[in-house]
Amino acid sequence: MSMDDLDRILSTDRSITPAPQFTQTVMRAVRYEAAAPPPIPFPWRRVLPIFASAAALLIATFVALPHWQSHQASSIAAPDALMPLLTAVAALPLGPLTLALLGSVAAVRLSLRGASE
């Protein structure tokens, strides 16, 4: 295509008209969107307790982590039934993290139970 052809194409003043049904189709879509119900809001009241308990457990884990090795596993005050479990978890390399995850699971279950009531 030469420059003369391009100039000729660009210099012609053609009127562009939409298809006959275009305006009706667009207006139908606009009316449909206007009539749609508003989106469902995010349930922050149900999620905030989960976030708060997870943050509290995370902070408690980081605060207790430096002191974890200085305490003996037997110095944990817990019922006798929990002592073997706590001792086994404390012996793991990621013991405090495991306890934090278990606490998070417990917090989530409690908040879900409260949300269903």
Tens-digit pLDDT profile for residues 24-39: 999 999 999 999 998 8
pLDDT digits (tens, 9 = 90+) for 4-27: 888 887 787 777 778 879 989 999
Spans of all domains in the chain: 3-35, 44-116
The predicted model scores a pTM of 0.33
**Among positive and negative, which fits the CA dihedral 101, 102, 104, 108?**
positive
